[in-house]
Chains A and B, each alone.
Chain A
């Protein structure tokens, strides 16, 4: 009887000690024992390659999400026909690989004020006239952190993956142009610069884009 009680007390004490150690994070938690450790990169130096002086007035940004994929299909060789096919093609006489990625990014449009010259600005008394260059896509940002691999079967080289990502970026640019991003950037640039010039006390401000 006494040995039975001792066993229970010992068991409860052990559980309490383990819980206390877990709570104080002195023991690894059960769920983390088989958790894959994250791979961290070394803190390597950053080398400056180029410094460029710019004057880009960014007025519109378009956020978007696109899907791009690539499929490679080939006929199975006689040896491959004998082996079980783990790709999506199963028992078919063809095999292949597939990559589907989702890319999230942003496009920035505006005017390049570096293209302004002395002839672009005309001042007379309290009137000013400014001739702006046309709006253009100034930047397309789709960083590695913006990509999600939705499906990847088979071996893909980094060059092939890059080609799919570039395809995704191209799609994003096409969509933004279709939405009329450049027209909106033109209108917004004109409004911003008109407001800026009025701040200097000019009564008549004319800002136009080049024909």
Chain B
């Protein structure tokens, strides 16, 4: 009578297994880089989260955190080769690579819990949970770098720095281009 149900239960239990997790070995070391950082944006963000989606947990818990992040952008210095430099007497043309975002940094001391509301049947947010929420904020900040104008400012600053540096080398006319687009003509 119960045999089919037992077989069915056996099949369901047998099918519930954890998929093997593929782990990649990380190599931590000193590495050479060639980044010319030309801009730093310091931004603020409120991290607002509500833990009320799990149906079997009684009561909600909410958290409000403030964070300050530093975004750094600039140009890849190694991408500047001899073919990107043209010199004619006292006139020089330099083609720089387009700017990229190098880092988003949220320092531990710049992440603060402003408010927490915990239901009577719930536990407080653990350190790991708070870090996971802040990691989401970090991703949102990183994704909005372009709309904040970080890359545009990085290119403008790179152009200004290169221009001043080349004038100090004795060039009277300096032309800086990014890719194929002329940025600044003097």
Question: What is A's interface to B at a CB cutoff of 8 Å?
Answer: 8, 11, 15, 30-31, 34, 36-65, 99, 101, 104, 108, 110, 113, 116, 118, 120-121, 123, 128, 138-139, 141-145, 147-149, 152, 155-156, 158, 161-162, 165-166, 169, 179, 181, 184, 188, 192, 196-201
Contacts and interface: CB of A to CB of B under 8 A. Distances in A.
Interface of B: 4, 8, 12, 16, 28-51, 53-54, 56-57, 68, 72, 74, 77-78, 80-82, 84-85, 87, 92, 102-109, 111-113, 124, 126-138, 140-141, 144, 148, 153, 157, 160-161, 165, 168-170
Nearest to B133: A41
Contacts of B131: 144-145, 147, 149
18 contacts: A11-B8, A36-B54, A39-B49, A39-B129, A41-B137, A49-B43, A50-B41, A51-B153, A55-B36, A55-B37, A58-B33, A59-B33, A59-B34, A60-B31, A62-B29, A121-B168, A145-B132, A166-B109
For the complex of A and B, 5 pairs with smallest distance between CB atoms: A144-B134, A165-B108, A145-B135, A37-B53, A50-B42
A38 B51 CA distance: 8
B104 A143 contact: yes
A143 B127 contact: no
A121 B169 contact: yes
A53 B82 contact: no
Contact of B39 (A52, A60, A116, A143): A52
Contacts of B140: 41, 43, 46
Nearest to B40: A52
A148 to B, nearest CB: 7
A200 B93 CA distance: 10
Given A46-B141, A46-B144, A48-B41, A200 B85 contact: yes
A181 B49 contact: no
Given A50-B41, A139-B105, A144 B111 contact: yes
Given A39-B49, A44-B45, A53 B157 contact: yes
